[in-house]
Amino acid sequence: MGGGFRARERAVLHFNVADFAVAVERVEDCRLRQRPLLIAPLQAARAVVYDMSEEAYREGVRKGMPLRQATRICRGAAVLPPRAGLYHKAMQAFYKELQGYSPLIECGQADGHFFADVTGTHRLHGPAPDIGWRVRRQARAGLGVNPIWTLGTSKLVAKVASRLVKPVGEYIVNPGEEAAFLAPLPVTVLPGLTGRELEQLRDFRLATIGSLAGLSRQQLMVPFGSRCDYLHDISRGIDDTVICRPNVASQTIDFEHTFAGDSNDQEEVEGVVAALVGRAGSSLRGRRQVTRRVGIWLRYSDGGHVIRQAPCRGGTAGDFHLQKLAMDALHRAWTRRTRIRSCRLVCDRLQRQSPQLLLFSEPEGRELREKRVLAAMDALRGRFGHAVIGAGKQSLGDVVGCV
C-alpha cells in the first residue's frame, strides 16, 4: 500500500487528542472536568508546564511556562504531576483501535497524535471519512477521549487541517484542493519551520502560505539556501512523506530533572542522576526491554548544554549497571564550573529482553540478589510510587519523563 499510488491518491487520516495528558487525567478523574487543569511537576521550584487544559490556554498559559507564572495567570487551576506511564498506556490503547483499519500507523510519544494511511482500504472498511467517524465513536465509547480527525492526501495537509479545528472537530481536504486549502492560511500553521525562518518570512512580508507559494525555487534559494525545496513544496501542499510504523529501535526512555536552584554540588547532581536511573530502569523492566546506550544531557545556567553517552553492548535494564553507565556519561559531560540548571537521562537503542531461559538453575550470586532487590523495589514503586524507595544515592524528588 502506498508505493503503487500517486501522492494525490493517498488517503491519510490524522487523529489528535487535544491536550492529551489533560484528557487522560480527566478520564481517570471526572471531577477534573469542572475546572482548569495544569500538568507540571509539583515539588520542583522552577517547574514548567507540561500540558494544560483549554480553559487554562484561553487565560494565557502555555507549555514550557514556569509553573509559578501559570498559577498566577490561572488562579483556579488544579495542578497534577505528569504520569508518563499512564499516558503511554492510553497511547497504546488508541493505537490498538486504529490497527483494525490500517497496518500503516504512526504515532508520537505520549502526545495524542496518530497518522493512519487508509489508502486502498475502502473495500474493507468503507470510505476514509467513515473510518474517521467510526474511530472517533469508538474512542469516545471505549477510551473516554474525543479526538479531532482530519483527512488529506498527505501528512502535511492532514496536520495543517487539524490545527484549524483544534480543540474539537473534523476536516476533509479532497484530492486536488491542497493548494487552494493552504493559500489563505498563515505561514505559522506550516509544520517544520524554524523560528529563524518565520522571522525571515515576516521580514519579507510573506504572511500567508499563498504568498509563499508565489515564489519560485530560485527566488527562495537566496534567503533560505538548501531549505528552498522544502518551503517550495509545503507551500503547495506537496508532501510524499510516508507513514512510519513505530520502530522499537527508534524509541527512547527519557527523564529530566530541573534543579530548584542552579547547582554544582556533586552529591546533589549525582543523587538526581541516580534517581533518573531508578525511573528509567523501572520503566525498562516494565516494558521487558533493555537499553544499549545511556545518555546524559546537562543544561547549564548560561544556556549551554553538553551531551555525553555511554554504550552497553549487550543491553541492560538493571539499576546498578545503568547507574555505572550514567555516572560515566555524567563525569565526561560535567567539564565546566558553571552551575547546572537541569539534567536529562535518555535511554535509547532499546531492544526486547531475551526470552531464552537458562538450562540450569541460576546459581546464588550477586546478579541474582540484585534481581531480587530490583523486583522488590519495582513492586513497592508500583504500589506506592517512586518516592517511596530508592537505592544508594537515588534522590526521591519528582522528575518529568516520557516514554
At 7-33, the pLDDT tens digits run 457 899 999 998 999 999 999 998 888
Mean pLDDT of 300-329: 87
- Rounded to two decimals, the pTM is 0.70
Residue 231: the pLDDT is 93
Q: For residue 82, which amino acid is it?
A: P
Q: Which residue, 280, 270, 282, 245, is CA-closest to 375?
A: 282
Which long-range contacts does 179-182 make (Cβ < 8 Å, 24+ apart)? 179/213, 179/236, 179/237, 181/157, 181/237, 182/157, 182/209, 182/210, 182/213, 182/235, 182/236, 182/237
Q: Angle 323-327-330 (CA atoms, 0-180°, nearest 5)?
A: 140
Neighbours of 226 (CB within 10 A): 7
Residue 146 and residue 165: Cα distance in Å, rounded? Answer: 13
pLDDT tier for residue 118 given thresholds of 50, 70 and 90:
very high
Mean pLDDT of 53-74: 90
Residue 394: the pLDDT is 61
Cell numbers given for 122: 475502502
pLDDT of 318 higher than 80: yes
Q: Which residue, 99, 29, 23, is CA-closest to 54?
A: 23
Residue 44: the pLDDT is 64
Residue 269 and residue 257: Cα distance in Å, rounded? Answer: 10
Q: Are 348 and 355 in contact (CB under 8 A)?
A: no
Q: How confident is the model over 320-336, as pLDDT tens digits?
A: 889 999 999 999 999 88
Residue 248: the pLDDT is 55
Q: Angle 165-168-170 (CA atoms, 0-180°, nearest 5)?
A: 60
| SS3 (DSSP) at 206 | coil
pLDDT of 1 higher than 80: no
Q: How confident is the model over 369-388, as pLDDT tens digits?
A: 777 888 888 888 777 777 76
Cis peptide before 147 (omega within 30 of 0): no
Computed over every residue of the chain, the mean pLDDT equals: 85
Residue 320: the pLDDT is 86
Residue 162 and residue 181: Cα distance in Å, rounded? Answer: 13
Q: Which residue, 342, 287, 345, 290, is CA-closest to 321?
A: 290
163-177, 205-219, 225-239, 353-367: range with lowest mean pLDDT: 353-367
pLDDT of 400 higher than 70: no
Give Rg (Cα) of the chain.
Answer: 24
pLDDT of 398 higher than 60: no
Q: Are 160 and 14 in contact (CB under 8 A)?
A: no
Q: Tell me the range of 34-43, 81-90, 126-135, 246-255 where mean pLDDT is highest.
A: 126-135
Query: How many angstroms separate the Cα of 314 from the Cα of each of 177, 247, 293?
Result: 51, 19, 10
Residue 386 and residue 15: Cα distance in Å, rounded? Answer: 32
Burial-class residue 208 by CB neighbours within 10 Å (0-12, 13-18, 19+).
Answer: middle
Residues 6+ positions from 110 with CB-CB distance below 8 Å: 20, 21, 84, 87, 88, 90, 91, 402, 403
pLDDT of 235 higher than 60: yes
Residue 250: the pLDDT is 61
pLDDT of 190 higher than 90: yes
Residue 45: the pLDDT is 63
Cell numbers given for 34: 469542572
pLDDT tier for residue 357 given thresholds of 50, 70 and 90:
low
Mean pLDDT of 293-307: 86
**% of the chain residues with pLDDT over 90:** 43
Mean pLDDT of 216-240: 91
Cell numbers given for 191: 509544520
Q: How confident is the model over 70-110, as pLDDT tens digits?
A: 999 998 899 998 887 788 889 989 999 999 999 899 987 77
Instruction: Report the Cα–Cα distance between both ends of the chain, in Å, rounded.
Output: 29
